[in-house]
Structure 1
């Protein structure tokens, strides 16, 4: 295994507890109690994943998430002590892949880590991909290729996280059909969809931003109110 995971949380008991559980499962852990030290680690260390607390004494986890996404696409899990959806939507919108609300069971953290890393490995290891009838879609200048895991818009590269790529690919696979948020979530995340889950909405918003979609009349990903999303 030996994947390297960054943990950033100013609550030492929580950071130490997560570290123990992850190390017991064979992961290499880089643990910090403040954001500035974590940023130095991000610049100098090869990482496979980051677990970031939202509230830190110096800079918040959102800022660290944004800095990671400037150069890296490995999974990011946000930890939040708040129950409001605003933190969750904010984290997902700026590039986080998942979030966990405190207090939590450390076994849940380990399970989420394994899920995200499996998806990341599949995304980056093209040789493990099974042959598909269609490996590329070209929709009005938006090209997405499953074999190379590249996406371009009018010949310009669009940098997508593994989750964003999976969301866009699933919509392209179902081109012309309306896909419900429930179906999209369960196929991409592989988990049971719960009511009031804003994860899909946040990732759709992030995709539209990267595709420079106009807010009122998007060219590619359209919302069918009360039903779901479609690429026509």
Structure 2
């Protein structure tokens, strides 16, 4: 059973979702303000968290940023903001998906299931990789320990990668100089059933590049019109 935390201050929306989710295999807890969300985050482990952008006391964007600083639980943002810059902001802060109000419960359910499958797929994939003979990846002073998910570049430890950033970097380092299209990255890192925008890849690549690159060694390169690769030829 999926343990789902929904933070939404509109109680009519919560009532609608509660009726809808009664027929689904979810254990749903509804919270109506940001301060209460903070308390519930530490009370148990959640499989997925849904945050309304405009929560009272502490907004959803702030909570998303705090969640990403300490845990890898998938997050979906709910918001009436539909401009691209707002969607990008949410993704840059670590949200896994973004649902614009008004929305149908069926759409939200599809997003929840897609995000859950992607995390399950990525987790199983990582476990299988770690269990294989090859437990580390090394390339040109880049060292990755798959079991501990630690990254070192030129003896500099990178310890702030999110789950998706880590998986992307592993893919690039495993295939240096190979160019991956956005579609290939979605398939290999997010899974075949990704339900979202290719823009998600660009946002995660930008964050990854900022964390692993230096002025002397950019590492992650854009191949215009095609996709991305680890380093120049």
TM-score under structure 2 length normalisation? 0.82
Q: 8 Å contact 2:209–2:218 — kept in the other structure?
A: no
Distance in 1 (alpha carbons) for counterparts of 2:92 and 2:124: 26
1:120 aligns with 2:119: yes
Aligned residue runs from structure 1 range 36-185, under 5 A: 36-124=35-123, 129=128, 135-146=135-146, 148=147, 150-153=149-152, 154=155, 156=157, 158-185=159-186
Aligned residue runs from structure 1 range 210-225, under 5 A: 210-211=211-212, 213-214=213-214, 218-225=217-224
Distance in 1 (alpha carbons) for counterparts of 2:133 and 2:116: 26
Counterpart of 2:4 in structure 1 is: 5
Distance in 2 (alpha carbons) for counterparts of 1:144 and 1:17: 46
In structure 2, relative to structure 1, the CA distance for the partners of 1:173 and 1:20 (3 Å cut) is farther
TM-score under structure 1 length normalisation? 0.82
The more displaced of 91-100 and 22-31 is: 22-31
Distance in 1 (alpha carbons) for counterparts of 2:194 and 2:29: 31
Q: 8 Å contact 1:151–1:159 — kept in the other structure?
A: no
Q: Deviations over 1:181-226 (max 9, x none)?
A: 23322433334798x8421111112212332x24x66532112233
Distance in 1 (alpha carbons) for counterparts of 2:6 and 2:195: 27
Counterpart of 2:204 in structure 1 is: 203
Which consecutive unaligned segments of at least 5 residues does structure 1 have? none
Q: CA offset at residue 110 of structure 1?
A: 1.7
Q: CA offset at residue 31 of structure 1?
A: 0.9
* Number of positions where the alignment pairs a residue of Structure 1 with one of Structure 2: 227
Distance in 2 (alpha carbons) for counterparts of 1:48 and 1:42: 11
SS in 2 for 1:87: helix
In structure 2, relative to structure 1, the CA distance for the partners of 1:127 and 1:55 (3 Å cut) is closer
Distance in 1 (alpha carbons) for counterparts of 2:70 and 2:85: 25
Q: 8 Å contact 2:122–2:189 — kept in the other structure?
A: no
Q: Deviations over 1:4-42 (max 9, x none)?
A: 111111222223333333342221112112111111111
Q: CA offset at residue 132 of structure 1?
A: 6.1
Which consecutive unaligned segments of at least 5 residues does structure 2 have? none
Q: 8 Å contact 2:81–2:100 — kept in the other structure?
A: yes
